[in-house]
Structure 1
Amino acid sequence: MNTFSLRPHCGEAGHVNHLLTGYLLSESIAHGILLRKGLNVSLSTDDPLQFHYTKEALMEEYSIAAQVWKLSSCDMCELARNSVMQSGFEDKVKIHWLGPNYREEGVVGNDIHRTNVPDIRVSFRHEAHVDELCNLFRVQHLTHQAE
């Protein structure tokens, strides 16, 4: 039996609550536009027979992304890492590409020899995520105090 996972398109258009709903209810978000602000962004082929011009749809996606958004090689490696993390690949495939500790948060979960993503970048992303969660909890606490 196949397992379906909810991976909506969030963050491109519509109300900001789409991101909140996606965060709470989804396994992951299909794509977004806020990589430089820290949103976990990935690339994947979307309807390759409709939207691509070459036989290598995924390579086309990465090439276009690199040119349009002026991504560095480090950015590209981070996109590839995120794509594997968010994918529906089996655990053993993710371990092969990301390393045995890929489920761990922060630098502990990064195998630079496999991902080519510097630990300093992974650390920054993790710290930004923790700060964002702290802000959410702080607002929630203040909201409950006001009631």
Structure 2
Amino acid sequence: MLENIFMPVFEATINPQAHPDLSVFLKHITGFDSVDDESKHSGHMFSSKSPKPQEWTMEKNPSYTYYAYYMYANVTVLNSLRKERGMNTFLFRPHCGEAGALTHLMTAFMTADNISHGLNLKKSPVLQYLFFLAQIPIAMSPLSNNSLFLEYAKNPFLDFLQKGLMISLSTDDPMQFHFTKEKAKFLGDNYLEEGPTGNDIRKTNVAQIRMAYRYETWCYELNLIAEGTKSGE
């Protein structure tokens, strides 16, 4: 997989003229995802003693953590190369926490730019807090989850929203689960700004005082961690 996926991309980055179609295609790519049934357990615990990809001879597939690390490592090196050459770079945003072990979410916290689903965060307040502090974006798909893993009424989307995690609604599979079209203009012009500055109440219907509270709470928590780190030195 690493050779089939990344080798052509590296080659097109180093020598775009030799791979014109792929080179143009990569300009329209924003990130790499990884999609699978997370509930399938591999039985392998990834560690420094794990065999390298070229040495993997076991019949079973590697673990989620193994896959995630090597995808992250390749995307990181690829981005460094493309940035040096003035090319667009990519995000690593895997499906994570839809099912399976909590180690998936721990891995994503350390490697991913953002994730899809994150349902299993409801099982770990500590991981919720970490994702909140780092403001790692989570694209949640209650309609898709309702069909596959978790009934709509039990979805933690609202709970995560109220706690201040950075979440958005996603259809996951638009042709199967979408109800409405998504348009960025409905969020307002400054939606990338933090706190009340990025909130257009005419678009979001979220009160500015609520946005201010969330932003102040987040800043307070970050400062608390920073001060605790200093005092421990």
Q: Note the C-alpha offset of 1:124.
A: 1.5
Partner of 1:51 in structure 2? 148
Partner of 1:142 in structure 2? 231
Relative distance call for 1:129 and 1:22 in structure 2 (3 A) is farther
Partner of 2:113 in structure 1? 27
Distance 1:26 1:115 in 2: 27
After superposition, the C-alpha distances for 1:88-147 in whole angstroms (9 at most, x for unaligned) are xxxxx43x121110111100101111111121221121111111111221122123x2xx
Distance 1:14 1:48 in 2: 18
| Secondary structure of 1:83's aligned partner | strand
Runs of 5+ unmatched residues, structure 1: 53-59, 88-92
Distance 1:22 1:132 in 2: 21
Superposition CA RMSD, Å: 4.4
Q: Structure 1 residue 9 and structure 2 residue 106: aligned?
A: no
Paired AA for residue 168 in structure 2:
S
Paired AA for residue 6 in structure 1:
R
Q: Structure 1 residue 105 and structure 2 residue 201: aligned?
A: no
Question: Contact (CA 8 Å) 2:141, 2:169: kept in 1 or not?
Answer: no
Runs of 5+ unmatched residues, structure 2: 1-25, 33-91, 173-182
Distance 2:227 2:101 in 1: 27
Relative distance call for 1:108 and 1:51 in structure 2 (3 A) is same
Q: TM-score, normalised by structure 2?
A: 0.37
Q: Note the C-alpha offset of 1:84.
A: 5.2
Distance 1:132 1:125 in 2: 11
When structure 1 is superposed on structure 2, of 123-132 and 41-50 the one drifting more is 41-50
In the comparison of the two structures, how many residue pairs are matched? 117
Relative distance call for 1:28 and 1:134 in structure 2 (3 A) is same
Distance 1:121 1:42 in 2: 21
Q: Which has the higher contact order (CA 8 A, sep 6+)?
A: 1
Partner of 1:57 in structure 2? none
Distance 1:26 1:116 in 2: 30
Structure number with larger C-alpha Rg:
2
Distance 1:128 1:25 in 2: 25
Distance 1:123 1:23 in 2: 26
Distance 1:51 1:135 in 2: 39
Q: Structure 1 residue 127 and structure 2 residue 216: aligned?
A: yes
Paired AA for residue 122 in structure 1:
M
Deviant stretches of 4+, over 4 Å: 37-42, 45-50
Q: Note the C-alpha offset of 1:26.
A: 2.2
Relative distance call for 1:49 and 1:136 in structure 2 (3 A) is closer
